[in-house]
Amino acid sequence: METELTDDIDQPLRDRLKAHPRPALLWAAGLCVLLLLEGPTYLDGLLGAIGAGLALLPGAPGAEAFASASAFFSELPHLLSRELVPNRGYYDGSAWQGTFLGLEPKYAWLIRFLLVYAYVAALLGWLWYGYVLFRRHYRAANWTPTDDVIDRLRSHYWGLFGLAVVVFFITMAAFAPVVGPTTAEENIEGPYSHDMKYYNEDTETVETITIGEANLGSASRGSGDSNVGIWSYDDFGRFHPVGTLVSGKDLFTFLAFGARVSLFIGLGSMAIAGFIATTLALVTAYYKGVTDLIVVLTSDSVQAMPALLLVILATVVFRNHWIAELYSGAMLFILLFALIRWPGLWRAVRGPALQVGEQEWVDAAKSYGQRPTVIMRKHMAPYILGYLLVYASLTLGGVIISVSALSFLGLGITAPTPEWGRAINIGQQYIASQSWHISLIPGILITLVVTGFNAFSDGIRDAIDPQSEGAEGGATGAAAGGGGG
C-alpha cells in the first residue's frame, strides 16, 4: 500500500493531522452524517441501557429519568424507523392503505429490512475506510505487525464467512425493533392492548380487531388451514416472513428479539469471565508459585463440576429470587455462565501470559521499579488479549447453545420474553407437519450463529498465529477443521 507519511516518524499524531487535515476531516464528516441518520436510535439504546442498569440497583436514583429520556428519543424521526418505511397497513378492497408508497406489506417490510443491512454495511465500510486513511496518511510507521494480521484475516474465507454471520446476528439483535414486521409490544407483550384494521372479504368492509384476536386466527398448528407458513399472509392481511407460532404471533419478530436475549447473555457472561480470566492469568504469570497453584486448584474444582446440572440446579434454587426476575432471568444466566466458563478462558491465556512474563521488557520494567499493576496492564495484557478474543468467541457459541437448551427444557428465559430454544420446544410436535418452520428455522439459526462465531474465531486465530494448524492449510484447511472450534 502506498503511503503519504511525514519525514519525522517521531512526530505526534496531532501534528500529522494538522499538517494534512483534509482526509481526516472529510472522513469525520462522513461518519457524523452516518451517525446522525440514526442518532435517536443510538441515544435511545444508550439511555435505555443505563436506565435498565440503574433499575437493577435497589434504591439507585435516576432510573425513571433515563427511561423517560429513552422514550423521548425513540419517538424522534430517523432513517431506519418504522414510520419512515411502514409495512403495517390494511387492504380497503382496491389498494393498500398505510404502507410505504402503497406497496404490499411484504415489499414494504423487505425494503426496510434491506435498508437496515445496507446502513450497517455502509457504516462498517466507512470505518474500514477510516483505518485505510490512517495507514496511508497519518501513521508514522510504514508497517506494523497488525498489518499482517489484518491481511491474513482478509484472505481467510472461512473467517470472513464467520464475520458475516456474526454481523448479521448482531445487526438483527441491535435493530430488532425495526427489522421485524411488527413490534414486540404488539406481537409479544400486549397483543390484546392494540387494535388493527383488516379487510373482511365476506362483508367487503374494513373492520377493527385486537391483535390478540387476530393472532388466534393466525395460529400455526400443523393441520388443515391452521398454518401460516414462510413468506405468506394471514387472513388479516399481515405479512409473516417466516410464518407464525402456535399462538399466532409473528415468528420473525420473536426471533429478532430473541437474538437480543442470546447476545446479551453471551456477551455479558464472556465479558465477566474474560475479565476474571485475564486478571488471574496476569497475576499468576507475574507472581507464579503458590498463587498459580491456588488458581489451578480452584479452576480444576470448578471444571470438575457438571456444568449443565449446576446451571439447572441454580435455576431451580433461584427461581423465586429477585435476581431471577432481572430481564426474565438473563442476569442469573450471565452470572452462572461467567462462573462456569472463566476456568477455560484462564487456561487458554495462562500459557501466553507466562511466556510474556519471562520477556526482557518485563524484567526491565521491574528493575525500573514500576508497580506490578502497571507492568501487568501495560507490558503484559496487550499480548494476551488476542488469544482471549479467540477463545471467548468460541465459548460464546457454547453459551448460546446452552441457553437455548435450557429454554427448550423449560428452565431458561421466562415467558413472554422471546428465546430461540423456547420456539423449538413449542414447535417440536409440529416438525413433521405443515408447521415445521416453528422448530426448524430457530434450530437452523442457532446452528448458523454458533458456526459463525467458531469460524470467526478460527480466522482470528490463524491471522494472529500463522503457524497454527488451520493457517498452514490455508482457508480451505481452516474451513475443514475450524467448524468444530
Assess contact for 246 and 438: CB atoms under 8 A: yes
**How confident is the model over 136-186, as pLDDT tens digits?**
988 888 888 888 989 999 999 999 999 999 999 999 999 998 999 999 999
- Determine the pLDDT at residue 64: 80
96: left (phi over 0), alpha (psi -120 to 50) or beta: beta
Please determine, for residue 483, whether its predicted confidence score (pLDDT) is greater than 60.
Answer: no
Please determine, for residue 475, whether its predicted confidence score (pLDDT) is greater than 50.
Answer: no
Burial 141-169 (b: 16+ CB within 10 A, else e): eeeeeeeebeebbeebebbbbbbebbbbb
Cell of 17: 493531522
pLDDT-based confidence at 476, cuts 50/70/90?
A: very low
pLDDT-based confidence at 243, cuts 50/70/90?
A: very high
Helix (H, G, I), strand (E, B) or coil at 296: helix
- Determine the pLDDT at residue 163: 96
Assess contact for 96 and 168: CB atoms under 8 A: no
Please determine, for residue 280, whether its predicted confidence score (pLDDT) is greater than 90.
Answer: yes
For the chain, counts of helices (H) and of strands (E): 21, 6
Q: Is the pTM of this model over 0.85?
A: yes
Please determine, for residue 469, whether its predicted confidence score (pLDDT) is greater than 80.
Answer: no
pLDDT-based confidence at 479, cuts 50/70/90?
A: very low
pLDDT above 70 coverage of the chain, percent: 93
Say how many C-beta atoms besides its own lie within 10 A of residue 218's C-beta: 24
Burial 330-353 (b: 16+ CB within 10 A, else e): bbbbbbbbbbbbbbbbbbbbbebb
**How confident is the model over 370-416, as pLDDT tens digits?**
899 999 998 899 889 888 989 998 899 889 998 998 888 888 888 88
Please determine, for residue 229, whether its predicted confidence score (pLDDT) is greater than 80.
Answer: yes
The C-alpha atoms of residue 200 and residue 246 are separated, in whole angstroms, by 23
Please determine, for residue 219, whether its predicted confidence score (pLDDT) is greater than 80.
Answer: yes
Please determine, for residue 222, whether its predicted confidence score (pLDDT) is greater than 80.
Answer: yes
The correct CATH number of 252-466 out of 1.10.3720.10, 3.40.1280.10, 3.40.50.360, 3.40.50.11540 is 1.10.3720.10
- Determine the pLDDT at residue 316: 81
Q: What is the mean pLDDT of residues 94-113?
A: 96
| Domain range summary for the chain, segments of one domain joined by + | 184-249, 252-466
Burial 174-191 (b: 16+ CB within 10 A, else e): bbbbbbbbbbbebbbeeb
